[in-house]
Amino acid sequence: MSRLTAVLTYRGREGMVAWAFHRISGIGIFAFIVLHVVDIYLIGGNPELYDEVLAFYASVPGRLLEVVLGAALLYHALNGLRIIIIDLWPRMTVYHRALWWATWVIFIVVGVPGALIILRPIWLQFLRDVGLA
């Protein structure tokens, strides 16, 4: 427990959650990028295998993972911009809490419709099954 706390502790407490999420999302995106560069290489090397990989992207588990990836990407992008704003303009530190909440407002406002678009084959099928579409 103390070790986990140590791993996830930023100096002091301010911004600790922001920092921990930034690091976790960054490592997750990194893992995907390694896979993604290799899968793009297949277009030239093995197009049939590429089509199979993309068929997974279009499947239900694939789409759920894409929502997770998109959430990680959006959070990392918004929080990264917040960090850069504070770095370049130290007076914004006064408003760091407001910036933190703004990050989450934008995350929800952009992220929820985005997730609905990615998952639309799933909920469209559900609506059809219950006779609403």
Partner 1 sequence: MQVTPYSRARARPVGSRRRELYVWYLMRVTGVALFVLALAHFSILHFIWDPAEQTAEFVLEQRWNQIFWRGFDWLLLMSVLFHGFLGVRTVVLDYINRPRLRTGVLWSLYALAVFLLIVGTEVILTLPVPGGE
Window 71 to 100, contacts with partner 1 (CB under 8 A): 73-74, 77, 80-81, 83-84, 87
Structure token pair of residue 12: 């002091």
- Four-residue CA torsion sign, 10, 15, 21, 25: negative
Closest Cα to residue 63, out of 114, 130, 109?
114
CB of 34 to partner 1, least distance (A): 7
Stretch that binds partner 1, among 41-49, 91-99, 100-108, 124-132 (CB under 8 A): 41-49
130 secondary structure, DSSP code: T
Q: Is residue 10 a contact point for partner 1 (CB under 8 A)?
A: yes
Q: Is residue 65 a contact point for partner 1 (CB under 8 A)?
A: no
CB of 95 to partner 1, least distance (A): 19
